[in-house]
Structure formats: C-alpha cells, structure tokens
C-alpha cells in the first residue's frame, strides 16, 4: 500500500490517509488491478483491507485522530455483514478504531444500486464512515446521492483540473458544494496539482484537499504534506 493524505487546508492538519494499492515492489495500481478477475476479486478486496489496516496501525502516531480511507469493490461484497467480519477482526487485532475508518468506492464502476445501498447502510450501522470517490465522472451520480447520503463526497479530479482558469468548472463546483452542504455531506477536492487550483478552491470555501501539490502517495509510509501559503 501507498498512503496519500487528505489535508485540511484551513489548519494544515491531515484529516485522513487514503490507502492506495501497490505491488510488492511499488508497482502502480493499474499493474495490480489488471490481474483481478471474478475468481480472485473477493480475496483481493479482503486482503487489501487487512494490509491497509495493518500498515496504518503501525504507521499512525500514538493518539492519532487521522482517519484511514479504504477503497472497496462493491462487486466483491456478496453479503455485507459476512464480508465485513475480517475487517472488524483485523481492526480489533491491530488496535485501529472502526470510527476512524472510511470506506470509499468509485462511482465509475457499474454496480447494482440496491446492492451498493445495502453495503453502505450496513457499514454506516456498524460505525464506519462512507465516501463516494470520483463524484461527477460515474454512472450513478445524482440518482445515487438522492437515495443515500454518504459522509464524504470526493469531487472528480477532472472538475478540479484548471479550475482557476475555467469559469464553467468553478460554477459546477460551486453549485455542487452548495448541494453537498444542504445534505450535510463533507466535500473533498482531489487531484489538486497547482497553486492556482488550490487558490480557487480556497476562494470557494473548500477545506479538505488531496493532490500531488500537497503530497504524493508514499509507499508504505505516511508522508508529510506541504501546504503552500495562501
């Protein structure tokens, strides 16, 4: 696993670390995911959760409040409560509080909405936080959000790219942020790569940001983000 921080740009503190799958020699996610099939998807999804928790527990400083964001594959979950048992037992074994765990999924994957809602509702009832990744780039989008409001929505990086130079993107993001505020959902803007993009998001009132400008993913380590001055 590699870990990339989600940073609160109002305080400079790390809100969460996203666990990103890597090969044993640091190979990228695409290399690893290319080997995933219907046969091994469940085992892969389960082991990713275990590895992320084991590493995060070892890397987290004592009394840390930073959250851990774990990507999961809804199509690998055949029954939510049965498939969460290993995650819960691992969290207990390594001493990582469940309330500090965020489960995020990408809405770019085609999934059965009712099945997904069953997973999200189950995770919420257990005490996990939930997040939609790549919001604005997927298949379900607003229809899903109307049926279930997660704790966090991560705006797709294509909406953030060059937002300081494209007024239409600022309009879309501004109205999306207002909608999320009405729902009581915390927004995260990901894929921030330039000082101009960061400044535009600050002007829009964004607090949580993720991207190469602040910190690249660190292989089996918790990197220290660098927050450019306003």
Q: Catalytic residue positions?
A: 190
3-state secondary structure the chain: CEEEEEEECCCCCEEEEEEECCCCCCCCHHHHHCCCCCCCHHHHHHHHHHHHHHHHHHHCCCCCCCEEEEECCHHHCCCHHHHCHHHHHHHHHHCCCHHHEEEEEECCCCCCHHHHHHHHHHHHHHCCEEEEEEECCCCCHHHHHHHCCCCEEEECHHHHCCCCCCHHHHHHHHHHHHHHHHHCCEEEEECCCCHHHHHHHHHCCCCEEECCCCCCCEECCCCCCCCCCC
How far from the centroid of its chain's Cα atoms is residue 62's Cα?
23
Q: From its phi and psi, is residue 191 left (phi > 0), alpha (psi between -120 and 50) or beta? A: left
Task: Determine the Cα–Cα distance for residues 213 and 208; give it in Å rounded to an integer.
Answer: 13
CA angle, 154 then 32 then 60, to 5°: 55
């Amino acid at each position: 696993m590699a870990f990339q921080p989600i940073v609160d740009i109002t305080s400079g503190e790390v809100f969460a670390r996203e666990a990103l799958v890597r090969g044993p020699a640091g190979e990228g996610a695409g290399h690893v995911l290319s080997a995933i099939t219907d046969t091994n998807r469940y085992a892969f999804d389960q082991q990713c959760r275990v590895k992320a928790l084991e590493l995060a527990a070892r890397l987290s400083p004592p009394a840390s409040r930073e959250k851990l964001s774990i990507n999961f594959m809804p199509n690998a979950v055949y029954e939510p409560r049965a498939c969460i048992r290993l995650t819960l037992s691992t969290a207990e074994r390594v001493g990582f509080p469940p309330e500090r765990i965020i489960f995020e999924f990408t809405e770019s994957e085609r999934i059965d909405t009712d099945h997904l809602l069953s997973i999200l509702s189950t995770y919420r009832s257990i005490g996990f936080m939930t997040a939609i990744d790549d919001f604005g780039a997927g298949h379900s989008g607003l229809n899903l959000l109307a049926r279930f409001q997660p704790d966090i929505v991560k705006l797709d990086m294509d909406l953030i790219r060059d937002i300081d130079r494209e007024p239409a993107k600022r309009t879309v993001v501004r109205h999306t942020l207002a909608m999320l505020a009405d729902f009581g959902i915390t927004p995260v803007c990901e894929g921030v790569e330039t000082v101009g993009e960061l400044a535009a998001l600050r002007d829009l009132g964004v607090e949580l940001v993720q991207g190469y400008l602040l910190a690249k993913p660190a292989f089996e380590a918790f990197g220290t983000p660098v927050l450019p001055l306003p």
